[in-house]
Chain A
Amino acid sequence: MMAEIGLAALWLAAALAGLQLVAGSLGLTTRGAVLGGAVRPVAMVQGLLALLAFACLIYVFSVTDLSVKLVALNSHSMKPLVYKIAGAWGNHEGSMLLWVTVMGMAGGFVALVERRLPERTMLATLAGQAFVSIGFYAFLLLASNPFERLSPVPAEGNGLNPLLQDLGLAFHPPTLYLGYVGLSIAFSFAIGALITREVGPAFARAMRPWVLGAWIFLTVGIAAGSYWAYYELGWGGWWFWDPVENASLMPWLAATALLHSCSVLASRNALRAWTVMLGVVAFSMSMIGTFLVRSGILTSVHAFAVDPQRGTFILALLAIYIGGALTLFGLRASTVTEGERFALVSREGALVFNNVMLSAILGIVLFGTLYPLVAETFGAKVSVGPPYFNPMGALFAVPMLVVLAVGPLLRWRRDRFARVGKNLVIPAMLVAAAAIGLLMIGGVALLPFLGLALALGLAWASLLPLKGRNLRRTPLPIWGMVTAHFGIAVALFGMSSESAFSVEKLVAVKIGEVTQVGPWGVKLDTVEPVAGPNWTALEARLLVRYGTDGKVSRMLPQSRSFWAPPQQTSESALLTRWNGQLYAVLGGEAPAAGDKSEAKSDAGSDQGRWQLRLWWKPFVPLIWLGGLLIALGGALALAGHVLADLRRINLRSKIAYRRERQGR
């Protein structure tokens, strides 16, 4: 029953999206102006219906209604409730439903609160949002129906991939999707502005909070995904430039550029065409990423139900939306001027530099991700991985980070280096000191070396905009900028430290044996079987001690066997200290090295030797802490802008009220 309600809600929502498109488009004409009034309510109801459909899906998953095909394929009655619920979006259909739900809700929310722009632009924007939504509703209803029934009803479901049975699944996809799809608002705003030719500071101010909101979620989602991969896959890697990871990074890069060009447009009425284009590109990157992940066109470690037919469907949507938007851009952008001019040494100049560099990094990530496909059309196979992306990205990231240290100190329009130069003496000295220190330690590769040195100077420089200000009166957006830039320095330090100073140890130890990894002494105390709700495991108890520290801590890595579906996973154990993380994984019982016949004859005496994989990763948590700081900075800026808007609305209504009274 719930499945049918969900499906009906979805069809209704799709129909309303159609109505929203028609009413919004006709509302722009003089004859259809009456229809314009319907657009906002329709957008809100459409969002609510999509939400209802999603709630229905969560319901059928939480009660494990096996007559629904999707549940039978991806869930299992003996699974903790939280994973049953999270399992609703741990598959293709469910995650696409999450996608349209976020899209509908975002559109409805815009319709509800956004009152700053001329109504014509809003109509065009909401019509654009509906136009994009329709395609995804069609994809969901025609090619990936999540509510399809199954007959006969199976006795039990197939279960969820054990790697996904983790709290990471509960948080990572929803946040990431809020980010991906939240960018559709920027896309629609850009389309609306192109149609009505209203590109100016008001447009930027209206769009900025939405971009910020999406960007915050995207940042959190990427950081969460990276941490999840880090502890779940059991090899201590946090970023591998896998196509799926790149698919989440590309919208982030575009959104970051958009955020900065938005602030130029809002404050200085410059970079008009560029900002509109970034608005189109950001969400286009979300869609391209989705296509790359789900069409299975690239080889990736991330498992998604791969289906070329679906790939074709999404590709058609891409052609319509991205192709259409870029054509519109081409036709209209020639009438949109670039706006006010400014000098190279100015706040705008620094922001333009940052935009160009971010775009170049985006281009490299996209090109590198697609290149294996290019090679395949020529009948060859190549792999493009970290050894390519790291240095090529750094080529543009390093100059950008240098400018990041200076840019926020510059004045709008025109400035001189001499004015800000003396502020930068300390950061420059920090960079030099770090560089000398690292040279003395020696053995640090070039990229981590640059990262560590830059991070220290950048951390200091990022705080400089607060200098000489009354901290209480400093506007929230400034706090936001400072926090986010500081977060970049923190994350950069974590990344560089991890790659420069990590210590790895692979050992096969007997019970009671002590091994050393970095400053840690690790003793294998026991290995015992334990049972969970839908798995059994071997759990090692490690007693660990930092340096000559008296305190002994416990770590409990597991080697788990799930039975639905049958699969083994390694559950790593992490121990966090202020200066890093100790990472432990329990491998199997060790095959004795060397001759196998010896191993067999030796089995009696050699029993109880266990493989351990241990890493000491100095300052690695700073990567994700930095990510959270970046997101927090975004949140502060968002709060600042929203509060300022509210204050303005409040003031305006007070003035209107007063006028009204005086008029009477």
Chain B
Amino acid sequence: MKRLLRSPAGLGPVIVCLALAAPAVAQEEQSTAPYAYRQLDDPAKETKAQDLMESLRCLQCQGQSIADSDAPIAGSMRSLVRERIAAGEDPEAIRAWLIERYGDYVSYAPQLTGLTWPLFAVPAFFMLVAFLLLRRRFAGKTEDAK
């Protein structure tokens, strides 16, 4: 539904032509936000930003994180994350800000809410079942073996 218009220049068989045309294509399709393709100078902050970006979903190509996507909106989101981290904001606050706008869908890290509690209950339940199964299997074993 929302498709980008591609410049037909890429179809040209003349290679030199392509080399000249490529930047024009790139400008239309790449995000021009300042930190879309630029890292923060402070490595500690960049790591923080990277960790957050890897857990945010790209809204255009929906199967990828914004850290792994060339979609323009992912670029805008990366820039937003980096700029806010640089300004000293907490990563979880940025995540919350985005969730406020896009819902839980934007975050790959499910938050514990009324909707998502089973995601956290099920592993605990598995733990319990595993424990019970193993206990039942081996209960009173020492007497038996003797």
**A352 near B63: Cβ-Cβ < 8 Å:** no
Q: A536-B18, A588-B26, A588-B30 are in contact. Are A387 and B55 (CB under 8 A)?
A: yes
Q: How far is the CB of A238 from chain B (nearest CB, A)?
A: 11
**B68 near A588: Cβ-Cβ < 8 Å:** no
Q: How far is the CB of B15 from chain A (nearest CB, A)?
A: 4
**A538 near B130: Cβ-Cβ < 8 Å:** no
Q: How far is the CB of B44 from chain A (nearest CB, A)?
A: 9
Count A-side interface residues using an 8 Å CB cutoff.
Answer: 63
- Contact among A380, A385, A396 for B55, CB-based, below 8 A: A385
Task: Map CB proximity to A onto B21-61 as digits: 1 under 8 Å, 0 otherwise.
Answer: 01101110010101001110000000000100011010001
Segment at the B interface, from A82-90, A362-370, A473-481 = A362-370
Segment at the B interface, from A92-100, A115-123, A501-509, A625-633 = A501-509
A566 lies within 8 A of chain B by Cβ: yes
B93 lies within 8 A of chain A by Cβ: no
B65 lies within 8 A of chain A by Cβ: yes
Q: A380-B103, A381-B105, A561-B18 are in contact. Are A590 and B37 (CB under 8 A)?
A: yes
**B34 near A593: Cβ-Cβ < 8 Å:** yes
Q: Which residues in window 552-585 of A have CB below 8 A to B?
A: 559, 561, 563, 566, 568
Name the residue on B nearest A389 (C-beta).
B108
Name the residue on B nearest A384 (C-beta).
B110
**A360 near B130: Cβ-Cβ < 8 Å:** yes
Q: How far is the CB of B14 from chain A (nearest CB, A)?
A: 9
B122 lies within 8 A of chain A by Cβ: yes
Name the residue on B nearest A414 (C-beta).
B145
**B141 near A343: Cβ-Cβ < 8 Å:** yes
Segment at the B interface, from A38-46, A138-146, A299-307, A639-647 = A299-307
Measured CA separation A382–B23 after assembly (Å): 37
Q: Which residues of B contact A357 (CB under 8 A)?
A: 130
**B34 near A360: Cβ-Cβ < 8 Å:** no
Q: How far is the CB of A495 from chain B (nearest CB, A)?
A: 15
**B26 near A589: Cβ-Cβ < 8 Å:** yes
Q: Which residues in window 378-407 of A have CB below 8 A to B?
A: 378, 380-388, 392, 395-396
Q: Which residues of B contact A504 (CB under 8 A)?
A: 39, 50
Q: How far is the CB of B58 from chain A (nearest CB, A)?
A: 9
A531 lies within 8 A of chain B by Cβ: yes
A611 lies within 8 A of chain B by Cβ: yes
**A382 near B27: Cβ-Cβ < 8 Å:** no
Measured CA separation A599–B34 after assembly (Å): 12
A512 lies within 8 A of chain B by Cβ: no
Q: Which residues of B contact A536 (CB under 8 A)?
A: 13, 15, 18
Q: Which residues of A contact B130 (CB under 8 A)?
A: 356-357, 360, 396
Q: Which residues in window 317-371 of A have CB below 8 A to B?
A: 341, 343-344, 349, 352-353, 356-357, 360, 363-364, 367-368, 371
A525 lies within 8 A of chain B by Cβ: no
Q: How far is the CB of B46 from chain A (nearest CB, A)?
A: 8
Task: Map CB proximity to A onto B108-146 as digits: 1 under 8 Å, 0 otherwise.
Answer: 111000011011001100110010011001100110110
Q: How far is the CB of A536 from chain B (nearest CB, A)?
A: 5
- Contact among A364, A387, A589 for B108, CB-based, below 8 A: A387
**A378 near B107: Cβ-Cβ < 8 Å:** no
Q: Which residues of B contact A363 (CB under 8 A)?
A: 122, 126
Q: A349-B138, A588-B30 are in contact. Are A383 and B118 (CB under 8 A)?
A: no
Q: Which residues in window 520-570 of A have CB below 8 A to B?
A: 529-531, 536, 538, 559, 561, 563, 566, 568
A240 lies within 8 A of chain B by Cβ: yes
Measured CA separation A531–B22 after assembly (Å): 15
B6 lies within 8 A of chain A by Cβ: yes
Q: Which residues of A contact B106 (CB under 8 A)?
A: 383
**B108 near A591: Cβ-Cβ < 8 Å:** no
Q: Which residues of B contact A505 (CB under 8 A)?
A: 39
Measured CA separation A437–B96 after assembly (Å): 36
Name the residue on B nearest A593 (C-beta).
B34
**B37 near A302: Cβ-Cβ < 8 Å:** no
Q: Which residues of A contact B103 (CB under 8 A)?
A: 380-381
Identify the 6 closest CB pairs spanning chains A and B, nearest first.
A385-B108, A301-B63, A588-B26, A387-B109, A381-B105, A235-B68
Chain B residues proximal to chain A, CB less than 8 Å: 6, 10-11, 13, 15-16, 18-19, 22-23, 25-27, 30, 32, 34, 37-39, 50, 54-55, 57, 61-65, 67-69, 103-110, 115-116, 118-119, 122-123, 126-127, 130, 133-134, 137-138, 141-142, 144-145
